[in-house]
Amino acid sequence: MTAHLREASAPVVRPAVVDLDEYGRLLGPGTGTPVPEARVADHLARHLRIPERATDLFVYVHGWQTSPEAASRAAAALVGRAAALHRSAPGFYLGLTAGFRPWCVVVRWPSSSLPSPGGYRRIRARAHAMSAQGQAGRILGHLLGYLDGGRGRPDAPRVLANRHGQYLHLVGHSFGGRFLCEAVQYAADRPVGPAVLGWSRPGDPARPFTVDSALVFQMAAPRDAFDRLFPRLFLGPGRPGAPLRGPLVLTHSRWDRATGFWHLRAEGLPGIGHSGTSVAPVPQFTARLRPASSPYPHGELDHPIVNIDAGDVYRGGLATRLNPAGAHSDFQHPESAHLLLSLASHSR
């Protein structure tokens, strides 16, 4: 597997784009005009054409201080790097022996503010309001419902595969992870209405919808967020129809100043991206970020919440350490692509 130590040149990945305004409304491409909610499903079907040859669908949501163009570049770099890793050592990921052909949708939202505690609180409040009071939860529900719409009933309720054998993965960074959790929980709590997420209960004849994996780099949320803010995301007693049946994997690094220094001042405690989760309503597991030459055992990732210590890799150079956010955005590494690819492989 020595070839795995060398990062192959990444293929060009051109993500599809979904733009939201500060109220969580879907914007028409190139117009900046909100799409009426009654026309959202038609809009997605017209503008998001899922390639039949794709094996894995990724929904990427960016974080704090990210322009729309930078968000698209970050998603393309991450998914492209994963495709390059698979291409350099196709037999390394046993679940992907039939191929790995990713397709990515980037959800872009206004996340810019001053790099200050006040700016941090402002974007935190915006991400929450877009989901809890705005339309973002319903739009994400439409999006995931659309991606799910073409599938047949999966053989096992744990994985989502549509009629083309495609798997669905959620990826977030910083507030993007918080945004995803807010929106998915919001959509799951409101299963009424056409073309949005509906979560099946045991015995329900409707097809179960599940997310195969969720990966959040350096999440900007309190360490107890999944116990206090997002408890309904997971399967468990009294939660038979929860949306996340695959693992939620969260990276953290002690060099992340945004979720350390800034989060401590904005919320009184360090964030998940700095220290990992603390209490949660489901079992947790802790591991280290592995190099691209070291496979992740299935049992290491097969837990409701997996905290990955990435401090040995997400450190940044001198310029990053002098940056007010520290290593908060320093996740574009082969090790990150290896983690993403391993989750896709173990989803089979």
How many C-alpha atoms does 282 have within 13 Å on its Cβ side?
Answer: 25
Task: Report residue 318 CA to chain centroid gap.
Answer: 28
Which structural domain range is residue 80 located in? 2-346
Count Cβ atoms within 10 A of the Cβ of residue 224 and give its class: 0-12 exposed, 13-18 middle, 19 or more buried.
middle
**Residues 6, 7, 11, 12: what is their CA dihedral angle, to the nearest 10 degrees?**
-150
Give 34's strand partners: 27
Tokens representing 307 are 């905290």
- Spell out the long-range contacts of 114-117 with Cβ–Cβ below 8 A and sequence spacing 24 or more: 115/65, 115/262, 115/324, 115/325, 116/262, 117/262, 117/265, 117/266
Round to whole Å and give the CA distance between 102 and 99: 10
Confidence grade of residue 2 (pLDDT, cut at 50, 70, 90): very low
Average pLDDT over residues 218-233: 90
Count structural domains, the chain: 1
**Mean pLDDT, to the nearest integer, of 73-92?**
93
pTM: 0.87
- Answer yes or no: is pLDDT of 163 > 50: no
pLDDT at 215: 97
User: Residues 313-332: pLDDT tens digits?
Assistant: 999 765 555 566 788 889 99
Residue with tokens 């070291």: 294
Question: Ramachandran region of residue 279, left (φ > 0), alpha (ψ -120 to 50) or beta?
Answer: beta
218 confidence band (pLDDT: 50, 70, 90): very high
Tokens of 243: 């949306």
DSSP track, 262-327: IHHHHHSS-BHHHH-----SS-EEEEEPPPTTSPPPHHHH-SSEEEEE-TTTTT--HHHHHSTTBT
Contact (Cβ atoms closer than 8 angstroms) between residue 77 and residue 102: no
